Amino acid sequence: MYTISNDFLTVNVKEEGAELTSINYNNTEYLWNGDEKYWGRHAPVLFPMVGMLKDNKCIIKGSEYSMKQHGFARDMKFDLFAKTKDSITFMLQSNEETLKKYPFEFELYIKYELNVRTVKVTYEVVNSGNNAMFFSIGGHPAFNMFSDITDYYIEFEKPETQNKVFVENGLVKFTNEAFLTNENKIDLDEHSFDDDAMIFKDLNSSKVWLKSKVTDKAVCMHIAGFPYLGIWSKKTGAPFVCLEPWFGIADTVGHNGEFAKKEGIVELNIGEEFSASYVIEVM
C-alpha cells in the first residue's frame, strides 16, 4: 500500500490492480471501504475491456480467447514506476500470462495526482507490439453515501437527453425508450439499480455529481473526453454509488464476438500511445 498526500487530501493506492483504496478529505472517507458483504473492491481499473464478453469469449485475429468481466488488470500486481509526495504512477506490462488471454503486447501506466481537493487519474496505454492492438479502458470508483440512498441524486452539468440502455445478463441493449428528456437530475432510490448499471453515451456534460439532499458532502467527476459513463451500485442496499468513465462498454446482446468490432473499442497502431484522464473532486 502506498500513500500520497497534500494539505487537503490523503490517498492510498495498492499495488494489486493499481487500485485506489482511500480518499480522505477533512477527516471524511469518500471512497468505499471494499466490504465484501456488498462489494469487495474500491476503484478497480478496467482493462483491456469494460464489462462482459458474450459467453466470456471473443475472437482476436481469428483465434478464440476468454476473459472475465472487466478484464485482467484489476487482478494483477502493478510495478511502482514513479512516486512523489502528491503523485504516484504504476505500470503493468504484457507478459506470458496476459498473452494467453489477450494477444497484444502493451504497457499500461496508471497515474494518480493530487491538486487541492482533486485526484487526477490518468491512463496511458502504449502499443509495444508488432500489430495494431484493440482495447477498452475505464474507471470504477465507488463513493460512500453517508445516509439513505433516497437522500441522494445524480446531477449533470448540462441538461441531457438519453435513451434507456438495458443490461441483460451483463450484456448491453440500446433502445429507443426515453430515459432523460432535457433533464440534468436523477433522484436515486432503492430500485435505481434493480436493472444493473445506468449507462450513458456521448453526454453533453463534462461533469457529473453525486450529491446529498441532507449534507454538504458531494463528489464531482470530471469526465471530459470519455464517450461512456456508467452509474452503478449493488441492488442490495449497498451504501455506495459508482461513477464510471469508460472508453468502451460490454458486448451488446447481438455482438458477433469479434473483439475489434466491439462497441467503443479503441484501436492503437504500432508504437502509438493512448492517454486519457478523469478527475475526482471531493467537497
pLDDT tens string 194-215: 999 999 999 999 999 999 999 9
- Model's pTM, two decimal places? 0.96
Q: Are residues 61 and 192 in the same domain?
A: no
Q: According to the model, what pLDDT value does residue 235 have?
A: 84
Q: What is the pLDDT of residues 246-279, one digit of tens each?
A: 999 999 999 999 999 999 999 999 999 999 999 9
What is the pLDDT of the chain when averaged over all its residues?
97
CA distance to 53, 54, 68, 152, per residue, from 71 (Å): 9, 13, 6, 30
Q: Are residues 266 and 137 in the same domain?
A: yes
Q: Are residues 138 and 150 in the same domain?
A: no
Find the domain containing 36 and state its range. Answer: 2-142+251-282
Q: Are residues 120 and 189 in the same domain?
A: no
Average pLDDT over residues 218-222: 98
Q: Are residues 189 and 209 in the same domain?
A: yes
Q: Are residues 116 and 205 in the same domain?
A: no
Q: According to the model, what pLDDT value does residue 236 have?
A: 83
Q: Are residues 17 and 137 in the same domain?
A: yes
Q: Are residues 13 and 89 in the same domain?
A: yes
Residue 65 scores a pLDDT above 90: yes
User: Domain tally for the chain?
Assistant: 2
Q: What is the pLDDT of residues 235-250, one digit of tens each?
A: 888 999 999 999 999 9
Q: Are residues 11 and 128 in the same domain?
A: yes
Place 81 in a pLDDT band, splitting at 50, 70 and 90: very high
Q: What is the pLDDT of residues 99-118, one digit of tens each?
A: 999 999 999 999 999 999 99
